[in-house]
Amino acid sequence: MGLKLWLSGLIKIPAAFAIITVCYFHFWFWNTISYIEVNPASDIYDFIVVGAGSAGGVIASRLSEDPTYSVLLIEAGGYPSPLVNIPLISSIFPSTPFAWNYQTEPQKFGFSASINHRSNWPRGKGLGGSSILNFLLYVRGNKYDYDHWAALGNEGWNYEDVLPYFIKSENNRGIFIDEQYHGKKGNLIVEDRAWKSNLPQAFINAGLELGYPYVDINGKNQTGFTIPQLTTKHGARWSTYSAFLKKPYYDRPNLKVITFAEVKKVLINESKQAYGIQYKRHGNLKTVFAAKEIILSAGAIASPQILMLSGIGPKEHLERLEIKVHSDLRVGENLQDHIYVPLTPLVHNDSSASLVNPFDLTAWWDYFIHGTGQYTSNGVDGMAFKSSRYCEPDWPDIQLHFLSYSAASDHGICVRHLMGLEENAWQELFEPVSYVDTASIFATLVRPKSRGWIRLRSADPLDQPIIDPQFYSHPQDVQVMLEALLFAQETLNTTAMKKYLHLHDARLPYCKDLPVDSHLYLECLIKYMSATLHHSVGTCKMGPSTDREAVVDSQLRVYGIKGLRVADASVIPVIPNGNINAPVIMIGEKAAHMILEHHKNNKIPKLFLKGSSHKFLSRNGDEL
């Protein structure tokens, strides 16, 4: 590959291993020292929130703003390491103690270049949940997504209803935004990218060349090209832990946080009342009680798992596992996710192309000493939305992510394993360019028709659930993804982009006999190279009582069970157009508001529990 490239690789590879080794050691060390015994101050709280992620952290924080309520927040992970705040190394986090490393079942219609045809599904484990390991993109989705939710029978969830909750959370410090759609006083800081390079502008120019406007995708219209905003503060990650749970919020006397506590089940009495939570910490089984409500915010995988372990789910499935059924609901159905196919690797035509090199030691100096440089970037330089032939022009179903790195950028240490890429695909497509700087365009399907499911593997809470997203089980998804790849090619072939980048002349080994510019080759890419954006939703579907798949109503109350709500990505009936962290935070804001309004308008006496009988008593001791 030439002496220059060989010398470059010789320097970069030891730096890569050194940096990642230090990071991994720190993550494990931090996880160990934060593993401190904490006992609840009481056995009974007004509200118990399970899961401190993008929704649960918001809910616990908002409920505890009222000092008359006591709130317990239970989290399976610990305190996030300071290193999670470095945007550029986000691909490392799923291999650390701060992630649940789930895997799907083998996929029939795609993921053929992934090991065993499985998809890796890491989810956040720690205060902040997946917001401590995601790629920090602030994307709300399309206004018609929420109008569609309302049209499905979910009163109070149309765009006009949810917009105030997006605005409430947001503290947007950007320049190019539609002011009327954004907040300036919220907890969640949203910024323009701190690292300036020439590639984002080249991407915008490519869009203009194709006739698409430069838009604020979170404003009036979504169709067009943009430079995405990030949930960062001065170039460092600003997770929901930073925004809602750190001091001064954590110091509230009425908010108790318990970490490293794995919830086993929700306790439900014969009257179908959820009255407590059973969890294990340091090997000890413990129980806490809720006087008013329990809110599950454990995410689209763990929330349905906990519900089913508690006897809420498909009757035939639970009875097969000998779990007592409290409510026969289609928990675990309606699973949806965003998937992409990378048009990659792209290599530079011009040495001035500002591509990410995560192992440039001067970049570490810039970040830690000055708070600047490429480590403040998440690597996503551009984003675009457009509609395929299957949908309306102003409600897109195609998204592009333009990245200034690829699976080759870290020499196969992290990104390759995050994708689950098998050896043959890595060696043929990425390894030959692992010595040079590379880029990618992700063609992304944001309104999939395919639906999957989650089931318990056993009645043991320690067993990971069975996850089958059924990717591409609806044939239209393949056709839309094909249009997305053609759109990615069209973007790359503009004058603005060709100045800096071109597609590396290598073919996926499974598709070598097909012409590289043909639809057949792109369809082969779809079959073999698809990967997930980790946007799983829908497994505790929100819907009216007439919807046979619905698990919660529009107030997020679980059907058939009193005192229990679910509020996280699992309640989403149809996945929104875009990265889901912002919508899940909105759900947390709206859920907290609904809960506070309900209890303000329903002055029920505070409830206590008597001994081990689990009967609810009023203040004077009379049984209710």
Q: Say how far apart CA 599 and CA 487 lie, in whole Å.
A: 50
The answer, yes or no, to whether residue 617 has pLDDT greater than 90, is: no
In the chain, the number of structural domains is: 1
The answer, yes or no, to whether residue 504 has pLDDT greater than 80, is: yes
Q: Is 615 within the bounds of a domain?
A: no
pLDDT at 295: 98
Burial of 237 (0-12, 13-18, 19+ CB in 10 A): buried
Give residue 238's pLDDT band: very low, low, confident or very high (50, 70, 90). very high
Q: Is 613 within the bounds of a domain?
A: no
The answer, yes or no, to whether residue 394 has pLDDT greater than 70, is: yes
Q: Is 331 within the bounds of a domain?
A: yes
Mean pLDDT of 167-177: 96
Question: 263 labelled as ligand-binding?
Answer: yes
The answer, yes or no, to whether residue 15 has pLDDT greater than 60, is: no
Closest by Cα among 623, 612, 60 to 287: 612
pLDDT at 20: 63
Chain segment 93-136, per-residue pLDDT in tens: 777 888 899 999 999 998 999 999 999 999 999 999 999 999 99
pLDDT at 148: 98
Residues with Cβ within 8 Å of 600's Cβ and at least 6 positions away in sequence, in order, are: none
What angle (nearest 5°) sits at the alpha carbon of residue 86, between those of residues 492 and 258? 130
Chain segment 327-340, per-residue pLDDT in tens: 999 999 999 999 99
pLDDT at 414: 82
Phi first, then psi: give them for residue 262, nearest 5 degrees.
-95, 115
**Residue spans of alpha helices (H) in 449-509:** 475-492, 495-498
Chain segment 250-290, per-residue pLDDT in tens: 789 999 999 999 999 999 999 999 999 999 998 999 999 99
Please report, for the domain that includes residue 66, its CATH number.
3.50.50.60
Q: In the chain, pLDDT over 70 holds for what percent of residues?
A: 89
Q: Is 322 within the bounds of a domain?
A: yes
Give the domain extent around 506: 3-601
More confident residue, 614 or 326: 326
Q: Is 556 within the bounds of a domain?
A: yes
Catalytic residues: 535
Q: Which residue has the tokens 């795609």?
A: 110
Q: Which residue has the tokens 């009757």?
A: 315
Amino acid at position 165, single letter: Y
Amino acid at position 313, single letter: G
Beta bridge partners of 330: none
